[in-house]
Chains A and B, each alone.
Chain A
Amino acid sequence: MSRDQHRAAGVRSGTPFAARSAVELRRVTRVFGSGNAGVAALDDVSLSCPTGSWTAIMGPSGSGKSTLLHCAAGLDRVTRGQVLLAGNDITAAPDDVLTALRRHTIGFVFQGFNLIGSLTAEQNVAFPAKLAGARVSRDEVRRVLAGVGLADRARHRPRELSGGQQQRVALARAMLSRPAVLFADEPTGALDSGSARTVLELLRTMVTAAGQSVVMVTHDPAVAARADAVVFLADGRIVDRVDAPTVRDVAERLARWEG
């Protein structure tokens, strides 16, 4: 299913047309543990990330950044509330629906790269599409790899690549299926500043040129400042939001919430 079809599906199933929101969380609470010992990692969080935008999520350790990302991506179930992804209500979606979403609608990039060690760079890039049963031409894979500057690394295995190169392979993998939403958890966390810059530029291209949405967790104000909006989380609640941020804006607010 293409991204448009997914949206159409959202309309047909009667959910409000969510073309403006790639990701929407409605009063989401996620409690770990049960009873009195339960800890709310997310506490009544509502958030909307518009289509074709880049949203950064910041906050101190343990503020619920990663949990928010996992819930938004359908990797973790919410305790209360509602999660909409590209117009589909995924709050209680069964595994096969979530699998289909992962194949067509969303992509992931993480600090730990998460490439399959036994496959070459180009096999890694083509892999999700193959899982989905789609035919992928080698030319297209090469084109995407060239787009992230790795045309000459197609036959290398992850362990033969540097961290920055591995992250670019992961990006190429996420770009091949043109997902509506790309979820990124500290995508530059393990990279040197040069590689980090390349990766951030690629993310920006995805947002502006291809109209894709990016939801990114980071703790680096310089990285967050590249986003269109920054959301601050503390103790499982959204405490602040800055649109079109500068590094300085971000750093100041971060200092306030971490202090």
Chain B
Amino acid sequence: MTVYLLCFALFMVGLYGIITMRNLVKIVISLSIMEFSIFLFLALIGYIDGGSAPIVDPSAPDKIYVDPLPQAMVLTAIVIGLATTAMLMSVIIRIYRKYKTLDIREIKNLRG
């Protein structure tokens, strides 16, 4: 039970970072921290007591394995997170070229 609460605490750390940080790169890093906490939670859900890694061993047919489906979901979600972070980074480089600053309080062209 404590493991799941620690995942939730990591989620809250990431959320605090997105809300209060002023530098654009720090906002992206906080979004990454939030994503990693959910991946950790998802991989921990599939644990079965006494299970081992889900690689089939032909010599011992009655072994208990942990659930492999959440692990496949986490692999896909990691790749999606990579694409999102790469997209955000290229947008940040272009913003730096136009605004000459990385402070989010200076970027307020669209209002109303």
Same complex for A and B? Answer: no
Residues of B within 8 A of A (CB): none
Residues of A within 8 A of B (CB): none
